[in-house]
Amino acid sequence: RGTPEPDMTPDERRERHILVVDDDRASADNLRDYLERSGFAAVAIYGLAAFAEQLQTQVFDGIVIDWLFGAQTSAEAIRAVRASENPDAPIFVLTGELLTGKASESEISQVIRNYDVACYEKPARMAILVADLSKRLNRP
């Protein structure tokens, strides 16, 4: 594909479909809105069951997913993405629970190593997340 284009227009980025998955509706909606303002086509869903359903019916160019959904982690969902029609889609894991101990640093580290995901702590710096997402979507 050659050299990535660093300055994509909003129309070029709009073709990129990003899925935001978080059981906190406000967080998911805020990130979806920010992605849309940044020129992406974004969808927010609010749980792992809905995520599994979406993955069966639609291909996404990138996924931003919370780590914890109650007592369940998103590790299995991440494995499903890597086995999907777009296994190379960039995946960003968000967590606000490392300091509380609810999220396991070692579990997240293992998922990062095994499935090539990026991890950001909440509250995520949205401009940095979008810049990283844009970069990963444009790499050759």
Percent over 70 (pLDDT), the chain: 89
Residues 128 and 119 sit within 8 Å (Cβ to Cβ): no
DSSP secondary structure string for all residues of 20-85:
EE-SSHHHHHHHHHHHHHTT-EEEEE-SHHHHHHHHHH---SEEEEESEETTEESHHHHHHHHTSS
Q: Amino acid letter at 31? A: L
CB atoms near residue 56 (< 10 Å) = 10
CB atoms near residue 51 (< 10 Å) = 21
pTM for this structure?
Answer: 0.88
pLDDT in tens, 24-75: 999 999 999 999 999 999 999 999 999 999 999 999 999 999 999 999 999 9
Q: How far is CA 50 from the centre of its chain?
A: 15
Predicted local confidence at residue 2, as pLDDT: 37
